[in-house]
């Protein structure tokens, strides 16, 4: 299971539609559960670090590491092989506090560009689908 915790409002219709297009193709363990929180509530929720260590926490932040799709798929596979759920955090307009980035298992930057919430959510959904295809040998990803 992959749980995505996103700061900000629920998806606009066009974002929800794009994410759903990828989600409907996914099978376990790549199934997605979305949890939306207002940014202030997300910051408070993460300040207490609600994760117990049995999850792999990936923090999406422009200050993170830029990796390839195959490298991302390996990170997910490693978590699943270790029986760890995956938590992906998508922050608010200013990203995450340094303490959140430091507590995360991995800080992931999509690129040096900054994206609005909706685009970031679509990128995450698409990359999860791509990872599932890479790991299953599906035709979606090309090298």
DSSP of 43-100: HHHHHT----SSEEEEEEEEEEE---HHHHHHHHHHHHHTT-EEEEEE-BTTB--HHH
Handedness of CA 97, 101, 107, 112 (dihedral sign): positive
Q: Which pLDDT score, from 0 to 100, does residue 28 have?
A: 86
Reply yes or no on whether the pLDDT at 6 is more than 90.
Answer: yes
Identify the CATH assignment for 2-136 out of 3.40.720.10, 3.40.1000.10, 3.30.230.10, 3.40.1280.10: 3.40.1280.10
Mean pLDDT over 63-88 rounds to 95
**Residue 25 confidence (pLDDT) above 80:** yes
Confidence class for position 123, pLDDT limits 50, 70, 90: very high
Threshold 0.85, pTM exceeds: yes
CB-CB contact of 45 with 6 (8 Å): no
User: DSSP 3-state helix, strand, coil percentages of the chain (rounded to 5)?
Assistant: 40, 25, 35
Mean pLDDT calculated for residue range 120-125: 95
More confident residue, 57 or 27: 57
Average of pLDDT values for 91-118?
A: 89
pLDDT at 143: 74
Handedness of CA 3, 125, 19, 88 (dihedral sign): positive
For residue range 83-102, what is the model confidence (pLDDT) as tens digits?
A: 999 999 998 777 888 999 99
C-alpha Rg value of the chain to the nearest Å: 14
d(CA 138, CA 133): 5
């Amino acid at each position: 299971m992959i749980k995505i915790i996103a700061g900000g409002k629920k998806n606009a219709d066009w974002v929800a539609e794009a994410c759903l297009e990828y989600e409907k193709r996914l099978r376990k363990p790549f199934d997605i559960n979305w949890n939306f929180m207002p940014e202030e509530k997300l910051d408070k929720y993460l300040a207490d670090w609600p994760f117990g260590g049995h999850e792999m926490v990936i923090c999406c932040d422009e200050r993170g590491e830029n990796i390839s799709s195959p490298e991302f798929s390996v990170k997910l596979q490693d978590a699943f092989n270790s029986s760890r759920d995956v938590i992906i955090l998508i922050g608010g307009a200013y990203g995450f506090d340094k303490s959140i980035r430091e507590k995360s298992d991995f800080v992931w930057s999509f690129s040096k560009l900054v994206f609005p919430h909706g685009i970031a959510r679509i990128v995450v959904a698409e990359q999860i689908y791509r990872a599932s295809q890479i790991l299953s040998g599906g035709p979606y990803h090309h090298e």
